[in-house]
Structure 1
Amino acid sequence: MTTLLRDTAADRRTTLSVDVAPGRALVRSSVTGDPGRPSLRAMLLDSGSGHARVALVPDGALLLAGDAIRLDVEVGPGATLELVEPAGTVAFDMRGEEATWDVRIDLAEDATLVWAGEPFVVAAGARVRRSTSVRVSAGSRLALRESLVLGRHGERGGVLEQAWSAYGPGGVPLVVERLLLDESAHRPGILGGQRALGSVVALGIPVADDVCVAGRLDLEHGGTVWRWLAHEAHRAVPLEAWRAVLDAL
């Protein structure tokens, strides 16, 4: 049997890096791949000594069948990057096809990344493969929030297959997980009738044990993850945990 692999040459790859420069932050960004396909474009909102605030703006309609989005983020030693999204993302009906959304994050020593993600909605008929891969170094910090939503208002969601991994210094695994949300996720004991899953991830950021106990998972090799289920997207993110993480930065 012959297996045909997806041609990744046309994938739209956005590369974003931030480094410390004398008295300022040095921000570099580029987009490669087929210019006729949609991508994420990095737009600088603000910068100062060693820190930058950048918006991830869709360059074209997202997310449709065949779209292949890749984002590579690198934060240099001692630099701080804040990522914001102007709005959420909707994966539309793909009529039997699929799309991919891959993020790679590389944090150098004493680097900080704060990413306040907006809802990622998987509409009826959509099929998305999504991955996030993180590498943290000594003294680096990651604060990330995200919410996954199955279906728009009044509809059943599509299929989302997600891989999420984070590795610390020396390649020590901090988080390695796979999540499949499809029609079976609506059964009792999985989503419990809810359709939105919110997460807050804090790596290298200590939060006191008695803060935000609900939905909290303290990782064996350092770091904390909070998870919350809700029927509405804006209720899914554990906001108390997110505020506590930001206060601890």
Structure 2
Amino acid sequence: MPTTSTSEVATGALTRVRVGAVSSGRVRVETEMEGPATAPALRPMLLASDATSARVSLVPDGAMLLAGDRVAVEVEVGEGACLTLVEPAGTVAYDMDGGQACWSVAITLAAGATLLWAGEPFVVSAGADVIRSTAVTLGAGARLALRETLVLGRHGERPGRTSTSWSALDHEGRPLLVESLDLDEASLVPGILGDHRVLGAVTTFGLDLPPDLCRQGRLDLERGGTLWRHLAAEAHELPGEPWTVSSASSRSGGSRSRR
């Protein structure tokens, strides 16, 4: 199988998506990108918006993920507003020749805000080393549904290494979920992942998932919320997202963008 290797050149880019509080008949959507023009990033593109909601696509801009890449995403949703994030394609972390890359997500939801994000597969190729982090702050009555799919290695190859951290705090600063997970080739053994190279996860807060949904791998958190995990040999074998929440309408709206 052909491989792709890269030398480490430090590059960083920040993507911001802000949806304002519901007011004046339409939510305000702001998108912004910071960093060198040559740095790989996720370019936010507004697909639709209406009085209470918006739908934004995060489009890969440049080759990613290579050694030295620092990709960061900041998402803010105002009071009472709803944001749906869409990924048109998955992400591949390539052989980094001993280097490392970072992928971080920070989410802030105001009171009564909603974020729906059904992420596409994140593939950690042989030789890749990726630090992934997700930090969430939820206002009172906020709702979150986030799907993540981690694929250890491209088809027919051994996996690289990934270190993942996850934290979620409520509006009083109390932890709802704090977790870290390190996975590499040594994880593909009985008692850990076995022969499953795909790990799917759905994390929800503020949404009531019926008990008969995702019975296997489901963990109802002590302070509210649900974490559901599913193992598979291939990404297409994972079930879809188990939530049903109305998202943005098809009507278009305006946005402000700059690089």
TM-score, normalization by structure 2: 0.88
Corresponding residue of 1:159: 161
Letter of the aligned partner of 1:246 in structure 2? Answer: T
2:45–2:56 Cα contact (<8 Å) kept: yes
Question: Equivalences for 1:209-248 in 2 at 5 Å?
Answer: 209-236=211-238, 238-239=239-240, 242-243=241-242, 245-246=243-244
Structure 2 distance, partners of 1:228, 1:211, is 12
Output the CA distance in 2 between the equivalents of 1:198 and 1:235: 10
Query: What is the deviation of 1:71?
Result: 0.3
Secondary structure of 1:87's match? coil
Question: Are 2:40 and 1:38 equivalent residues in the alignment?
Answer: yes
Which letter maps to 1:62?
A: M
Q: 2:138 maps to which residue?
A: 136
Letter of the 1:178 counterpart: S
User: Does the residue aligned with 2:222 lie in a helix, a strand or coil?
Assistant: coil
Aligned to 2:181: 179
Contact 2:12–2:40 (CA<8 Å) still a contact in 1? no
Unaligned runs of 5+ in 1: 1-7
Q: CA deviation at 1:22?
A: 1.4
Measure how far apart 1:211 and its partner are: 3.1
Q: Which amino acid aligns with 1:204?
A: G
Partner of 1:15: 16
The residue identity in structure 1 corresponding to 2:41 is S
State, as a whole percentage, how many aligned pairs show the same letter: 55
2:87 maps to 85
Specify which structure has the higher proportion of helix: 1
Give the 4+ runs in structure 1 shifted more than 3 A: none
Partner-residue secondary structure (3-state), 2:27: strand
Q: State TM-score, norm by structure 1.
A: 0.92
Counterpart position of 2:56: 54
Decide which moves more: 70-79 or 186-195. Answer: 186-195
How far 1:106 sits from its partner (Å)?
0.2
- What SS does structure 2 have at the residue aligned with 1:57? strand
Q: Specify which of 96, 100, 103 is matched with residue 101 of structure 1.
A: 103
Give the superposition deviation at 1:248: 9.0
- Out of 58, 71, 74, the position equivalent to 2:73 is 71
Structure 1: how far apart are the matches of 2:180 and 2:162? 11
